[in-house]
Structure 1
Amino acid sequence: MITVEEYLLYTDRAFDGMTRIVGELGDDLANRRPALPGANTPYGLLTHCLGVVEYWAGTLVAGRAVERDRDAEFTAAGPVAGLLARVAEVRGRFVADARGAVPGDPPRGTPDPRFLGPDGLRTQGAVLQHVYEELCQHHGQMEVLRDALLAEHPSRPLGDGHGVKWGSLPAGTLGAWVADMDLGIASPIKRRLLETVQREDFGYPFWDGVDPVLREFASWTGARHGWTPDPAHSRVFTDLLQILQVVVEHTTAPGDGVAIHVPAYPPFLASIARAGRRIVPIPMVHNGQSWTFDTDALASRLAGCRLLVLVNPHNPTGRVFDAAELEALAAAADAHDLVVLSDEIHADLTYAPHRHVPFATLAAARTITATSATKAFNIAGLRLAVAHVGPSAVRASLDAAPLDVFGTPSILSRVATVAAWQESSSWLDGVRSTLVTNRATVAAWAASVGVPLTPPEATYLAWFPSRRRASELEQVARVKLSEGAEFSAGTEVDTAGFVRLNFATTPEILEDVLGRLTPWMT
């Protein structure tokens, strides 16, 4: 037996929890239904709770006549502020009704046959117990709705986040720029990370025998791409930019040429320039069907270079280089005795019928292959990359360098990477299916607005010409894209008339992004 004040303490907790969730979700998400069978909107669910309280406590405990349209409760929509004001009014009446109840007396009315509730509600106390059960049940449902909506719409996070894609944007602007996905992470990765946290296992890393990261790297690459790298020739780094910087320092001297396809990932261009090396662009051109480059001009263009940076699949065009192009690059690298740094971080995001060919299968002795689980598995902030170093001279140079120069990735990055490559292939397959659908959506949109887009053969990035720069689109359409000019900075190649769009998001956000861009594309 509890007192009425104890009863109100527990019902208040349920009310407070639901109203807090609805308030934090805001007008947009509170009026959305998540993709769950039979799900309501948070706004509709809270409206239904108010109907339950008003009817059961008002009619059957206090004896007030209360008109109720139960079906309309679930379809209710509107501004959150108005709903929360109504909650305050209903709660005030509910407190008075509960305090005025005589628990052992019969209800002051007969339940409507359309919503009888459970059998056995023969006292006012039993009616109030039913109200409490309903509030607790719906509070739990509200938490499920919140979690599902935030997973589907991560552009609207609660609280403070750490991701630059959304955290750096003003309210109301949609992020479709930096190459992060809005599709969560694989459950095995999350589970392994949480297990590590629960064990408080943050000491210095240790493994017996082969580094687990390098073992899984070899296994994953062999199974997915038909090339098994040697763990003994592989190293763990923090990210691909670090690998690029280390390779530049160990294979070239200031003033040497570093060749790279342009447009190129902007931080790569900046890193080469900061190192005092010459950027030698290999211009990507569109031949009317796809993005490619002039293989006949390679011999003359690569003269004076010491390093070729190959990004395959290519960012930002999404091109997967074919055998003829790769063989031309391998022949040119051989003719000029170049080291090739092959960035293959997007290899796991290649769309059928295209197939990724590891460059090391064509030029093993001169290729440094750089990759990471971070792009395909959406864990970029955890910071871990792997390099397989084919050239023996570069391996010797790295071995001679002070070990502490390279740093050590964290325990959590190692745990996540192993979980990605060892346990998360089915998750990746599901994400790839979503990306295939999104890619088709972008292609159809581009055709509808007259944008000459070549759908990417890999990656989740769309590269297309635009009459307006990304900075202008951010102002007028409130969508942030990547600025085309940044992908050719420091070179004679002109990419100012292009933008890059990241479509690795939910279908709902993508629809919003494209809808906002549409008026500004023609």
Structure 2
Amino acid sequence: MITVEEYLDATGRALTGMAGIVAGLGDELANTRPPVQGASSPYALLTHCLGVAGYWAGALVAGRAVERDRDAEFTSAGPVAPLLERVDAARRQLAEDARGADFAGPLRAAPDPGFLGPAGIATQGAALLHVYEELTQHHGQMEILRDLLRPQRPVDTARLRSGTGVKWGSLGPDTLGAWVADMDLGVAPPIRRALLDAVDREDFGYPHWPAGDPVPAAFEAWMARRHGWTPAGDRTRVFTDVLQILQVTLEHATRPGDGVAIHVPAYPPFLESIRRAGRRIVALAPDRVPDTVDARLLVLVNPHNPTGRVFRRGELEGLLALAERHDLTVLADEIHADLVYAPHAHLPFAALGPEAARRTVTATSATKAFNLAGLRCAVAHVGPAALRASLDALPIDYFGTPSTLSRLATVAAWRDGAAWLERLRATLAANRAAVAGWAAGLGLAHTPPEGTYLAWLGGVPGPLPAQRLERTARVRLSEGADFSRGTGVDTEGFVRLNFATGPAVLAEILERLTPALAR
């Protein structure tokens, strides 16, 4: 049971929060309906909340005559300033109505069935509770509307240089970063809120999850909603990053000297990790399935880094047949799965069927799609029973533990970040098209990536072209030779360009590179 003042504090916070969002959006955006089925404009949603408070507290609790057109509330529009004045007046009136209410007393009028309130409300206290529920629920909806409508802030390279991120922090003051696979496009508001809430609570002690670690459940629900694959609930393990998952899989599924098949060009830290583990790299072409392979482990990076290829079902089925013939464990690195461009679609390797699920370790993270690399949290869905048993036999502290903040951010991304992700994907798609047109104009070898925010560019003259371009154009790219070093595959003359930045920064990057590449 809460007091009247506690009730007014909660409802006042909801009204103030919604009014603040509407004020921040301004007249144009506050009157805009986002492209989501059934959504109202923020102005209309706040107008509806005033209608709820006015009718349920004013008419049914205080007994005032209240004229209300509920349908018109959801189509209302107008300047923000007068609406904010109405919010102030409504907050004062709600306080007066609540303080004068007889919580156990009967309603002053029968609820209008057209106003869609809960059935069975008979007391003034129940009517006020309905107002509270409506305001707090719509406050959450208002935050979503704001996130859908608020324009993406311009990329501030000075801010990026001042932080701890290597992408910009390691550069000279006149050099632009388009190399390591971080984004410059911020994070989803639900992630920011989850982290700031933990900071406000100073919640940095040893974690306690009464219902269990929330990351596996968030991962499993995300994969089911997003990719049509429902992972088995008892096979998900939490790690710090995908590279750790590769290292652990190497140690427990192969022996020194065993072959590890991987499509080359390949993410350089993967190549180095395989070599450091004393295993042999068996290079595969990204566009061809071999008939045979001398390996114990297949590392499948899909979508592929650095080429951006999204493997088709037929190719995945061919790789599964290869794995069956040679009894390979498959490590499916699907960290870029949420960054696939239409008409392509990501198909999890383990979703091919029971045989695929039985031999596949699916490794992924929210870090690429939601820009969280520095927070360090990844998951592995471990299909092979022998590998699960081997991991479970190790001491519980052997693998370390991702932080509370990294877990909170990951859960917020997978539970509440879908709307932000769609806006991000639209930005990346536009940047991808800009890079493709630019590369075609210069005659570079380039196939627009089907997934990722990485452009693989060939035909760049001279040895170590990324180093030359950093000196001459003051843009840092990733060196193509690093993606095949020690494999026997030649990727000299290639560079990798990260286009996950603001359109203005990307335009400057391409403008700087143009004269250096046109020589």
TM over 0.5: yes
Deviation at 1:467, TM superposition (A): 1.5
| Counterpart pick for 1:299 among 291, 311, 324 | 291
Matches within 5 A, 1:44-123: none
Q: Give TM-score scaled by structure 1 length.
A: 0.68
> Could you list the runs of 4 or more consecutive aligned residues of structure 1 that deviate by over 6 angstroms after TM superposition?
35-38
Whether the 8 Å contact between 2:365 and 2:377 is mirrored in structure 1 is yes
Q: Which residue does the alignment assign to 1:239?
A: 241
Name the aligned partner's letter for residue 320 of structure 1: V
Q: Is the 8 A contact 1:155 1:175 kept in 2?
A: no
Deviations 1:207-255 (A, max 9, x none): 2334211001000000000001123101000000000000000001110
Q: Return closer, same or farther for 1:268/1:37 CA change in 2, 3 Å cut-off.
A: farther
Aligned to 2:334: 344
Tell me which amino acid in the other structure corresponds to 1:164.
Answer: V
Aligned-partner Cα distance in 1 for 2:179–2:222: 28
**Match in the other structure for 2:484:** 488
Deviation at 1:172, TM superposition (A): 0.6
Deviation at 1:402, TM superposition (A): 1.7
1:227 is aligned to 2:229: yes
Q: Are 2:445 and 1:445 equivalent residues in the alignment?
A: no
Q: 1:173–1:478: 8 Å Cα contact kept in structure 2?
A: yes
Of 377, 384, 408, the residue aligned with 1:384 is 377
Letter in 2 for 1:511: A
1:114 counterpart residue number: none
Partner of 1:313: 303
Match for residue 115 of structure 1? none
* Contact 1:338-1:366 within 8 A present in 2 as well: yes
Q: Note if contact 1:234-1:388 (Cα within 8 Å) is conserved in structure 2.
A: yes
Q: What is the aligned partner in structure 1 of residue 258 from structure 2?
A: 256
Please point out which of 359, 363, 369 is paired with 1:366. Answer: 359
For residue 405 of structure 2, the aligned residue among 412, 426, 443 is: 412
Question: Distance in 1 between the 2:506 and 2:278 partners?
Answer: 40
Report the TM-score when normalising by structure 2. Answer: 0.69
The 1:159–1:374 alpha-carbon spacing in structure 2 relative to 1, beyond 3 Å, is closer
**Structure 1's 150 and 226: CA in aligned 2 closer, same or farther, altered over 3 A?**
closer
SS in structure 1 opposite 2:157? Answer: coil
Alpha-carbon distance between aligned partners in 1 of 2:509 and 2:370, rounded to the nearest angstrom:
23
RMSD (Å), alpha carbons? 1.9
Instruction: State how far apart, in whole Å, the 2-side matches of 1:191 and 1:223 are.
Output: 23
Measure the CA separation in 2 of the matches of 1:464 and 1:433: 22
Matches of 2:276 and 2:451 in 1, distance apart?
A: 29
Q: What amino acid is the match of 1:230?
A: A
- Mapping 1:399-478, distance limit 5 Å: 399-465=392-458, 466-468=460-462, 469-478=465-474
Q: In 2, Cα distance between the equivalents of 1:159 and 1:476?
A: 21
Could you tell me how far apart the structure 2 residues matched to 1:260 and 1:408 are?
28
Q: Secondary structure at the match of 1:192?
A: helix
Question: What letter is aligned with 1:243?
Answer: I
Q: Which residue number in structure 1 is paired with residue 270 of structure 2?
A: 268
Deviations 1:173-223 (A, max 9, x none): 000000011100011100110000111111222223342110010000000
Give runs of aligned pairs for residues 194-213 of structure 1, distance below 5 A. Answer: 194-213=196-215
Contact 1:470–1:481, Cα closer than 8 Å, also in 2: yes
Cα distance between partner residues in 1 of 2:467 and 2:435: 20
SS at match of 1:349: coil
For residues 401 and 419 of structure 2, the distance between their equivalents in structure 1, rounded to whole angstroms, comes to: 29
For 2:483, the aligned partner's letter is F
> Offset at 1:299?
3.0
Q: Secondary structure at the match of 2:203?
A: coil
Write the letter of the residue equivalent to 1:406.
F
Distance 2:340 2:374 in 1: 22
Contact 2:161–2:169 (CA under 8 A) maintained in structure 1 = no
Structure 1 residue 160, shift from structure 2 partner: 3.3
> CA separation of 1:228/1:467 partners in 2, compared to 1, >3 Å: closer, same or farther?
same
For 1:521, what is the secondary structure of its paired residue?
A: helix
Of 444, 468, 479 in structure 1, the residue corresponding to residue 475 of structure 2 is: 479
1:163-174 maps to which residues of 2 (within 5 A)? 163-174=165-176
Task: Give SS of 1:258's match.
Answer: strand
The AA in structure 2 aligned to 1:389 is: V
Post-superposition Cα deviations, 1:98-156, rounded to whole Å, max 9, x if no partner, equal xxxxxxxxxxxxxxxxxxxxxxxxxxxxxxxxxxxxxxxxxxxxxxxxxx999523322
Distance 2:396 2:273 in 1: 22
**Structure 1: stretches of 5+ with no match in the other structure:** 1-34, 39-147, 285-291
- Displacement of 1:452 in angstroms is 2.4
Q: Deviations over 1:469-488 (max 9, x none)?
A: 10000000000000000000
Pairwise CA distance, 1:315: 0.3
Deviations 1:365-402 (A, max 9, x none): 00000000010000110000000000000000001112
1:453 offset after TM fit, Å? 1.2
Equivalent position amino acid for 1:280 in 2: V
| Higher CA-based Rg | 1
Match of 1:157 in 2: 159
What's the secondary structure of 2:380's corresponding residue? Answer: strand
1:410-458 CA distances to partner (integer Å, 9 max, x unpaired)? 0000000010001111000000000010001001111111112100000
SS of 1:231's equivalent in the other structure is coil
Query: How many aligned positions are there?
Result: 367
**Equivalent position amino acid for 1:194 in 2:** L
